[in-house]
Amino acid sequence: MEFGKKDKKDFLIPPFLIFYFYLIIANTFNLPTIPGQVLFDIQLISWIGVITCFMGIILIIWALISFKKSFRIGLAEKASDGLITTGAFAISRNPIYVAFAIMVISQFLVFSSWILLIYIFMFILLFRCQIMKEEVFLKEQYGDEYINYCNQVRRWIGRR
């Protein structure tokens, strides 16, 4: 695992995540939350959320395995293992972000809170901003190799 340079704006993420995880834990264990936040309570939809959440976890595990020894946190320069384009990265340039998006949407299906609905949009926005920073970095780092990869594999999911 390698730690790269971080953006100064990344300090906004931890408080956002702490509140999000509190909401999930509070809903799970009936701890105090904001009253009147439940949008719907349909057991079938909750089970669909549980199943898709597990699918997101499996995708994260597959992506981490696909990284092999080149897992990085932040934008690490001069990675010796090169650009990863196999495994989960053959179907998405950002499989971990896709997995997190699946998990956030799934958690909303389980705990149908209007606050979690807002979080879905906030997460997608944060993911998109981070992905755009990473794409600029990867173009600088790998040049034509990364551009060719972008022409073959979509940002979120699917091959071209």
Helix (H) / strand (E) containing 2: strand 2-3
- What is the reported pTM? 0.81
Residue 21 is assigned to a structural domain of this protein: no
Domain range spanning residue 53?
A: 40-70+81-160
Find the CATH number of the domain harbouring 63: 1.20.120.1630
- The stretches of 7-155 forming alpha helices (DSSP H) are 13-29, 43-67, 95-110, 114-142, 144-152
Domains in the chain, number? 1
Residue 156 is assigned to a structural domain of this protein: yes
pLDDT for the residue numbered 78: 60
Higher pLDDT, 22 or 149: 149
Residue 19 is assigned to a structural domain of this protein: no
Average pLDDT over residues 140-153: 94
Residue 23 is assigned to a structural domain of this protein: no
pLDDT above 70 as % of the chain = 85
Residue 7 is assigned to a structural domain of this protein: no
Residue 146 is assigned to a structural domain of this protein: yes
Residue 32 is assigned to a structural domain of this protein: no
Residue 123 has pLDDT above 60, yes or no: yes
Segment 72-82, tens digit of pLDDT: 666 666 655 78
Q: Give the lowest-confidence range in 16-20, 64-68, 102-106.
A: 16-20
Average pLDDT over residues 52-58: 95
- From the number of C-beta atoms within 10 Å of its C-beta (0-12, 13-18, 19+), residue 142 rates as middle
